[in-house]
Structure formats: C-alpha cells, structure tokens
Structure 1
Amino acid sequence: MKQLTFKQFWELSEIYTAPLNLFIILLGYAIAKFQLNSLPSPEFFLFVLIIVMFHITVNVFNHYMDYRNASDENYKQQTNIIGRDHLDLRFVRNFYLFNLIVSFLLGLLLVWRTNWVIGALGVIGFYIGLFYSYGRRPLNSLPIAEALTGTASGFFITVVSYYLAVYQTHVVTLPMIGKVFLISLPLVLMMFNNLLANNTCDLEEDIENHRKTLVYYLGKPLAVKVLLSVYVFSFIWLFVLVIAGLAPWTVLFLLFLFPKNWQSLKKYRALQDKKTTFPIVLKAMSAIMVLYPVLYFIGSLFA
C-alpha cells in the first residue's frame, strides 16, 4: 500500500481533533490581548502551522506504536486502524517521519526567528508528544499520563502562543508565565478529564496491553468521582479568575453549560463505555475547551 484514503487519513491522523489546538492557541493570544493589548507576530502564525503538523505526527506515531506494542491480537486486528485496514507498516512509519521532519524543521525556523526560550519549550513539547507512546515505559502506560499530557496541551501550547504575542515588546517574566498557567488551568483540567475518561473506558484493554494508567491504581469508581470533581472545580475556578482580574467577565457565560452537561454526565457515571458514554464526556469537556478561549478573546476586546 502506497497511499491513504481520506477516511484512513482522518482516523490515523485524528486531524478532526486539531481545531482544539487552535482554540488553545487562541487563548494564549487572548491573554496577551487582555493583559497587554498585544498583536500577533508572523512567528505566531508559524507556530500555528507547527502545531497542526506535529498534531498529525503524534497521532500517527501513537497508532503506530500502539500497534507495534500491543499484546492483544484482537486490538491489533480489530481496533487499531493499521491492523483493521491492513495498512502497510513501513508506509505508516514513513508518513509520520515525514511529518516529524517537516514540523521539526519549522520548529528550528521558529527558534531561529525568536530565541532559546521557544527552543527549550519546543524540546519539552516534542519529548512529551513522541514519548507518549514510545520506549520501554511509554508515558501512556504510566499514571502520570493524564496530568502530563493535559499540562502539555493545555498549558505549554497556551504559554508559547502568549510568548510569541508579547516577546517583541515586553520582557516575559516568571510571574507572567505563572498567571498564564492559572488562566489555562480550565483547559488543562478538561484535557485531563478527556484522557481520564478514555483510560477508564479502556481499562481492561490497557491491562491486557500492560499499560498501567492512573485508572489502574484508582479503580473505575474513584476515577469517575475524580472526573466529576475536576469538572465542578473548573467552573468554580472561573469565578476565582474573574475576581482576581485574570480573566474577563465574559468567561462566566460558560456557567450556562453546567446544568445540561452535568445531567448528561450522569450517563457516564452509570456506565463507562467507549462507544456510548465516552463521547458524552468528550463533548462536555470539548465545549469548554472551545468556548473558554472564545469568550476570553471576546472579553479581551473590551478590556
């Protein structure tokens, strides 16, 4: 096999989840706009391209490594897109290597046009993305996977976006980065919940494939309670951010989501199933990941 159909590319690259990264980038710029009335630089748009390319790289690589490392033949032949569609393993490997090289070269260009700070953050991001499913003990087999990946996606992308919007006119300090972390926490928590729910639904499959995620140690009942508690806390945190002056009042419109989403999450609390109830969690968390940056950006326009 020498090419992918669109459907295969869609599933292998999970390109349909890429827009979430764009909203995370939007939050970084919105913070810069709200705090310092900054404008995006050309490097900002280069970063957007890098994120999309690396997003494709990581997802293809994860499918590739999950297939290579799987002990469960049913997973390899029925669940994983590579085995199910009989994709050529060498072609899949070359496909992710091509995307990796392109995103890496674009990353070098970004560092050349900016400074070593972006390089350092980029190295950490590349490491987490690639070693999520690679190595003797890949990150996705460890109990830190949910928190680490949530932080990498929700905070690292946000802080780089913020940095690229302000570095030419302002000196970025640690207190400024600390504020960005506090502001990005709702995104970190929603990404954490998405991964926690995914691993809760996949617990038996993960055990079969020797992956001991956080859910393995918590057990399903406690993992569900953690997810719901994190969800409630994220809404309380919105009040904290607005009261502290770290977010515009417009983000409080997110509160209108809570009653309907809380009601729908009751189905997940009763049954943790990948096909029927996991999409409910994904929809609820993704709504916040999309609307929070949008509402923050709208509020920044009136600051």
Structure 2
Amino acid sequence: MQTKVVVVNDHSNMRKFLEFVEIRTKITSLLPFLMSLSYLFYRRLPVNLERTLLFFSSMFLFDLTTTAINNYIDTKTNGQELPFPRGMAKLIIYLLFGVSTVLGLTLAYRTDLVVLLLGGLCFLCGVFYTWGPIPISRLPLGEIFSGLFYGLFIPFLMLYMNMPSGTFLTLTVDWSAVRFDLNLAPAFSLLLVTAGPICATSNIMLANNICDLEKDITVGRYTLPYFFGKNALDVFAGLYYVTYLTWAVSIALRILSPVCLLALLTIIPVHNNICRFRAEHIKEKTFILSVQNYIIIVGAQTLVIFFSGLFL
C-alpha cells in the first residue's frame, strides 16, 4: 500500500495577499522612509534602531491595511472580485489593522505625545479615506492628504524620533496649560527637503483622478480634476516644477550639499513624461508615467543625499 504525500503550496495564497494589498504601490511609503534614513546619515546623526523598526513596521502594515480597506469597499460597487472571499478579506484587514495599531501604540509609549497624536491622525485619515458617510476619496482632498501623509509625515516622524529632542517642535501638557513651540527654521528646511515626495505623491493621485474623471462623476465622486477642469494638467506639471525649485533652494541655503545638484538632471525624463501625459491621459497607457516620475524624483533625491553622506 502506497501513501501519498500532499505538499501544501502557499505560494498561491501569498500572491493573492500581495495582490489584495497592492504591494507594488508601496513605493510611496518605502522611498520617503529611505530618504529620511539617508538624511540622518548625511547629517551624521545616530539612528535609534528600536524606534525606527517599530515605526517602519507600523507604517508599512497600516499602508497595507488602507489599501486592503480601499479594495474591499470599492469591489462592492465596481463589479470586480477580491482575491479572497469577503469574510477572509475582512479578517485580513482586522489582523493588519490590529498589529499595526499595537506597534504604533508601542512606539508612542516609547516616544512621546507628538508621535501618538500624529500617528493617530494618520490612522484616522487612512481609515476614512474610503470608509464612512463621506469618504475622503470622494472629495477634492485626496491629492492633499496623500501628499502630506506620505510625503511629509513619514519623513517628519522619522526625523523627529531620531534627531535631538526639540529640534522641530515641543509639546508639553499639564493640568494648567498646553504649550506648543515650533522651531521655524528646521520646519522650513524639512518642507524644502520633503517637497519632492509631497508633490510627486500628490501627482500620482492627481493623474489617477484625471484619468478616471468621467467614471468618477457617474458614481458621485467629485475629485480635484472635476473642479479644475483642463487646468488640472497645468497643476500636474506645476507640482513637478515646484519640486525642482525647492530642491535648488535647499542646496542654495546649504540645507543639502552641492552633490545634490545631480538630482536636478532628472528634470529631463520627468519633463518628457509630463508632455506625454498632457498629450494622452488614459489610465491603461499613461497613468504609469506619474509612478515613473515619482520613482525618478524621490529615488534620485534619496541617492544623492546618501552620496552626500559618503563623500562629504
């Protein structure tokens, strides 16, 4: 009598999970995180390994959670199917949300109230982006929220946790008063350095909404291009050019080193992609250009900051 050995292959389920959370889109959280590490390396500042790992794990898992929620809700109306049965998909969302929340609260306990408040704000906006009576995705706010939460808040929290206390701001709360102090010079420097991920992230959302404008209107989703009309293409181009302007100012003010001038060369392929998207903005053909521009801009900025730390 022969015994058959059955080997369970989990590769299929893993592929389904990665499809469900759209792992290919997580570059928008990974690159700002890496750029922040490069900046700390350039400034010769030590990295708190425990805080950094807690932050990355919580941030990345919550990014997966928001995408899963978005897909779960969207498939109720768009006719598409989820990779898993809806009950299983909901369980995955709960697990991702639960683990990311525990990690985030642990990080807040290890740091301070600023991390707790900003982290909580990120969680709220992530959940209410597609869930709730009036989801953020149905309003002309998606570009603003995505740019700020991915492009600004990720670098800010990374730098805030690893740089000396009080570098950017201080928040003290007691029974008699709440005191908030913002250091303008470091805050302004941070805005200049993070303009690349802020604008490039916003443009991914803007390009998506430009391509989906007619379809969005039919389902009652009035995004920024609905209000801007053809001017949305000018906004799309302008955000990229603002990136290069702020980058040049950062170098001129010696916030970044002259090595970072090399990143300005990326304006050539980025400009070519802008022209191609202006000529034809079709989801299946040219939306990818906004993702390419994001990788070109933020990837180049991350590399030149890192090389500045190596050579200077």
TM-score by length of structure 1 reads 0.88
In structure 2, the residue matched to 1:287 is 296
In structure 1, the residue matched to 2:281 is 272
Q: How does 1:86-235 map to 2 (within 5 A)?
A: 87-167=84-164, 171-173=167-169, 174-175=182-183, 176-219=186-229, 221-235=230-244
Cα deviations by residue, 1:132-185 (Å, 9 ceiling, x for unpaired): 1111111111111101211110000010010121146x6543222342122111
More helix, by proportion: 1
Q: Tell me which of 15, 23, 28 is aligned to 2:31.
A: 23
In structure 2, the residue matched to 1:261 is 270
Q: Is the 8 A contact 2:192 2:247 kept in 1?
A: no
1:157 partner SS: helix
Matched, 1:6 2:39: no
Cα deviations by residue, 1:255-302 (Å, 9 ceiling, x for unpaired): 222223322332211111111111122112222122212212221344
How many residue pairs align between the two structures?
287
Cα deviations by residue, 1:67-90 (Å, 9 ceiling, x for unpaired): 23x3xxxx323xxx42xx5x3212
1:247 partner SS: coil
Q: Is the 8 A contact 2:260 2:305 kept in 1?
A: yes
2:46 partner SS: coil
Q: Is the 8 A contact 1:43 1:110 kept in 2?
A: yes
2:26 partner SS: helix
Aligned-CA RMSD value: 1.9
Shift of 1:218: 1.0
Structure 2: 5+ residue runs without aligned partners?
Answer: 1-9, 170-181
Q: Which has the higher contact order (CA 8 A, sep 6+)?
A: 1
The one-letter code matched in structure 2 to 1:166 is M
In structure 2, the residue matched to 1:76 is 79
Computing the radius of gyration over CA atoms, which structure comes out larger, 1 or 2? 2
Matched, 1:38 2:69: no
Q: How far apart are the structure 1 equivalents of 2:116 and 2:290? A: 34
Matched, 1:60 2:63: no
Q: How far apart are the structure 1 equivalents of 2:64 and 2:40? A: 27
Q: Is the 8 A contact 1:159 1:177 kept in 2?
A: no
TM-score by length of structure 2 reads 0.86
In structure 1, the residue matched to 2:6 is none
Q: How far apart are the structure 2 equivalents of 1:258 and 1:172? A: 30
Q: How far apart are the structure 2 equivalents of 1:302 and 1:147? A: 36
Q: Is the 8 A contact 1:128 1:149 kept in 2?
A: no
Structure 1: 5+ residue runs without aligned partners?
Answer: none
Cα–Cα, structure 1 residues 101 and 223, in superposed 2: closer, same or farther, change >3 Å?
A: same
Q: How far apart are the structure 1 equivalents of 2:103 and 2:126? A: 16
